[in-house]
Amino acid sequence: ETGVTQTPRHLVMGMTNKKSLKCEQHLGHNAMYWYKQSAKKPLELMFVYNFKEQTENNSVPSRFSPECPNSSHLFLHLHTLQPEDSALYLCASSQDASGVRGTDTQYFGPGTRLTVL
Amino acid sequence: AQTVTQSQPEMSVQEAETVTLSCTYDTSESDYYLFWYKQPPSRQMILVIRQEAYKQQNATENRFSVNFQKAAKSFSLKISDSQLGDAAMYFCACRANSKLTFGKGITLSVRP
Q: Strand pairing of B32-39 and B46-52?
A: antiparallel
Contacts with A106 from chain B: Cβ below 8 Å? 47, 100
Confidence of residue B99 (pLDDT cuts 50, 70, 90): confident
pLDDT at residue A101, rounded to an integer: 65
Question: CA–CA distance from B2 to each of A36, A44, A100, A113, B98 (Å)?
Answer: 18, 13, 18, 28, 11
A22 class by beta-carbon count within 10 Å (0-12 exposed, 13-18 middle, 19+ buried): middle
Contact B98 A43 (CB under 8 A): no
Q: Which of A30, A106, A112, A113 to mutate to test the interface with B (most CBs of B within 10 A)?
A: A106
pLDDT of B91 higher than 80: yes
Q: Are A114 and A89 in contact (CB under 8 A)?
A: yes
- Point out the residues of chain A with pLDDT beneath 50: none
Contact A106 B101 (CB under 8 A): no
Question: CA–CA distance from A71 to each of A33, A49, A56, B55, B99 (Å)?
Answer: 11, 8, 16, 31, 19
Contact B102 A1 (CB under 8 A): no
Of A63, A59, A75, the residue nearest A25 (C-alpha):
A75
Report how far residue A14's alpha carbon sits from residue A19's, in angstroms, rounded to the nearest whole number. 10
pLDDT at residue A4, rounded to an integer: 96
Confidence of residue B108 (pLDDT cuts 50, 70, 90): very high
Closest residue in chain A to residue B47, using alpha carbons only? A107
CB contacts under 8 A, A 24-63 vs B, are 40-43, 45, 56
Q: Are B73 and B51 in contact (CB under 8 A)?
A: no
Q: What is the pLDDT of residues B37-52, one digit of tens each?
A: 999 987 889 999 999 9
Q: What percent of chain A has pLDDT over 90?
A: 77
Contacts with A27 from chain B: Cβ below 8 Å? none
Contact A108 B95 (CB under 8 A): no
**Range ranked top by mean pLDDT from A14-18, B29-33, B90-94:** B90-94
Considering only residues B99 and A113, tell me which one the structure prediction assigns the higher pLDDT.
Answer: A113
pLDDT at residue A39, rounded to an integer: 84
